Amino acid sequence: MKSPKEQTLHTRRDFLRTSVLGGALAYTVPLFLEKTFLCLDTMAAATSGQITTGKDGTILVVLQLAGGNDGINTLVPYGDDAYYKARPKIAIPKADILRISDYAGLHPKLTGIHDLYAQGCLGMVQGVGYPNPNRSHFRSTEIWQTGSDADKNESQGWLGRYFDNCCQGSDPSSVGVAISGQTPQAFASPTPKGVAFSNPEQFRYMSEAASDPASADMFMRQMNQPTDAGHNSLSENSGGSIGMLSGPADDDGSTVEFLQRTALGAQMSSDKILAITRKTKSSVNYPQSQLGNSLNLVGRLIAGGLPTRVYYVSQGGFDTHANQLPSHERLMSDLSAATTSFVQDLKAQGNFNRVLMISFSEFGRRVSENASGGTDHGAAAPLFVMGGGVKPGLYGNYPSLTDLHDGDLKFGTDFRSVYATALEKWLGAPSEMVLGKKYPLLPFI
């Protein structure tokens, strides 16, 4: 019987030989790479307290509602007259509300989300925000993505710091996947990790640009193999440790090695993701929308066994300054339908219990409607937590609609408490290392 360590090494070696370097090329895997992967696995295990075991680890899906979702018309305080007073044109009639409590209920188009609540796998954290709220999309998004205080500037993303602290050395697609043309700032770290793509068919080397694509592909792989030269410099410079792998460059060889490792990681990720998306089809129908397509893709990647633990998707269009009833209705309807499909998909795969999805938006909107039948930038708002491990219910209190801060709801729960809860209770990661401070954990898991 092999020890787990030997098995890991064996698997990695096989994987590298067969899938990455390609059957056509009978190259041996450089020794330093094998060692690297072994060290990295061990280190990741030591850091995070649990080994990511590919097909059975827990998964976090972060859903960004970009533009500032109107939280008040999402989780509606229908039991409060102040709501109807503040929003004579755009308040949702009591009769249409999907009730959660005597005070709050869901937007009528969130039927699927309401069902998930009834089935016991949806929670709503109320009044989430941060001190000294900023009403700029740009700045408030940055605050949410980096987890920084409003009066501090932090350039690394909260997930980037999680990757750095807990997922060192895995190939990038095993660390985090963002369904997006650009890497979200939440993933930012000194040495970027994770991958971002909107279409898996574009996340690959386009060898067909060449007049002889097969040869272009083969030679590209050959040129992008780390050399054994890396072996010497790696062990010399890092004293046998693998700290160098993600640390800052401080010697000559390491920039090239860094590029070589990234190139290899890119190929591994691309090969894995394409192999999965080309063979895996969803068993359920998703709505034909950006969010529907993104969650469909995440569903297929999970079904195909990608060992990634963090996915990032987004839905845009929430900046509803004018005539918001029809546009917000469409957004709610899409959110509900896409989430419902995703849940059905995960359940059909038997993966539902592995997944936690958290939604967030850079801010909520003002309590009072504006003169155009819309709402302007606000502050605190509710967010959804959904998944097989979620305890259903309302968390935190609904902020008062009359005791306001500059016309906005006062926050009751710091958004970093939500992050800390997901990190500690779901991903099993030390949240203080990632967030820089201890934040109270919430009981939604």
Partner 1 sequence: MFSPFPEKLWDRKMAAHLLDRAGFGGTPAEVDALVGMGPERAVNSFINADDDSDLFPRPELLMPEQRLVYKQREKAAATEDERREVRKELGKAEAATMLELRLWWLNRMRYTAAPLQEKATLFWHGHFATSNQKVNDSYLMWQQNDTLRRYALGKFPDMLKAMSRDPAMIRWLDLGDSRKDHPNENFAREVMELFSLGEGHYTEKDIQESARAFTGYRINYEKGQFHFKEKDFDSGTKTFFEKTGPWTGDDIIDAIVSQPQCARFIGKKLWVFFVAENPSEETLSGIAELLLSNGYDIGATLSTIFKSAAFYSPKAVHHQIKSPIQWIMQTTKMLEIPLPDARVLENSLASLGQVIFAPPNVKGWDGGRAWISASNLLYRYNLAAYLLSGKARILGGGNTKTAMIPLKTIAPTSVRGSSDQLLDELSFRVFNYPLPPKDRATYLTFLEKHSTPYADDTVRDLMQLMMSTPDYQLT
Encoded amino acid at 227, one letter: T
Q: CA dist 194 to 165, 169, 215, 372, Å?
A: 13, 11, 29, 42
Cα-based torsion angle of the residue sequence 438, 439, 444, 445 in order, rounded to the nearest 10 degrees = -10
* 12 is a site residue for partner 1 (CB under 8 A): no
Only segment of 203-211, 339-347, 398-406, 428-436 that touches partner 1 (CB under 8 A): 203-211
- Is residue 288 classed exposed, middle or buried when 0-12, 13-18 and 19+ CB atoms within 10 A define those classes? exposed
Adjacent-strand bridge partners of 408: 405
Pick the binder of partner 1 from 6, 208, 236, 406 (CB under 8 A).
Answer: 208
Number of residues forming the site for partner 1 (CB under 8 A): 61
C-beta of 150: minimal distance to partner 1 in Å?
11
Adjacent-strand bridge partners of 125: 383, 395
Adjacent-strand bridge partners of 113: none
C-beta of 253: minimal distance to partner 1 in Å?
10
Determine contact, residues 38/12, Cβ cutoff 8 Å. Answer: yes
* 3 is a site residue for partner 1 (CB under 8 A): no
- CB closer to partner 1, 108 vs 190: 190
Binding mask 146-185 for partner 1 (x = CB under 8 A): -------x-x----------------xx-------xxx-x
* 274 is a site residue for partner 1 (CB under 8 A): no
* 28 is a site residue for partner 1 (CB under 8 A): no
Pick the binder of partner 1 from 209, 281, 288, 403 (CB under 8 A).
Answer: 209
* 203 is a site residue for partner 1 (CB under 8 A): yes
**Cβ neighbour number for residue 232 with a 10 Å cutoff:** 11
Pick the binder of partner 1 from 265, 292, 299, 387 (CB under 8 A).
Answer: 265
Compute the radius of gyration of the chain from its Cα atoms: 23
Only segment of 12-20, 103-111, 195-203, 280-288 that touches partner 1 (CB under 8 A): 195-203
* 30 is a site residue for partner 1 (CB under 8 A): no
C-beta of 374: minimal distance to partner 1 in Å?
9
What residue ranges in 218-303 does DSSP mark as E strands?
none
Q: Sheet harboring 105-106: ordered strands across?
A: 75-76, 105-106, 98-99
CA-based angle 424:43:176, to the nearest 5?
Answer: 55
- Which residues have a Cβ under 8 Å from the Cβ of 323 and sit 6 or more positions away? 372, 373, 374
Binding mask 244-263 for partner 1 (x = CB under 8 A): ----xxx-x--xx-xxx-xx
C-beta of 188: minimal distance to partner 1 in Å?
8
* 119 is a site residue for partner 1 (CB under 8 A): no
DSSP conformation letters of 400-411: PSSS-BTTBPPP
- CB closer to partner 1, 166 vs 335: 166
Only segment of 79-87, 111-119, 277-285, 366-374 that touches partner 1 (CB under 8 A): 366-374
* Measured distance between the N- and C-terminal CA atoms of the chain, rounded to whole angstroms: 37
Only segment of 12-20, 80-88, 188-196, 401-409 that touches partner 1 (CB under 8 A): 188-196
Adjacent-strand bridge partners of 61: 311, 357
CA–CA separation, 70 and 145 (whole Å):
19
- CB closer to partner 1, 176 vs 378: 176
- CB closer to partner 1, 45 vs 274: 274
Under the rule (CB under 8 A), what is the footprint of partner 1?
Answer: 136, 138-139, 142, 153, 155, 172-173, 181-183, 185, 188, 190-197, 199, 202-212, 215-216, 219-220, 222-224, 227, 248-250, 252, 255-256, 258-260, 262-263, 265-266, 269-270, 321-322, 370-372
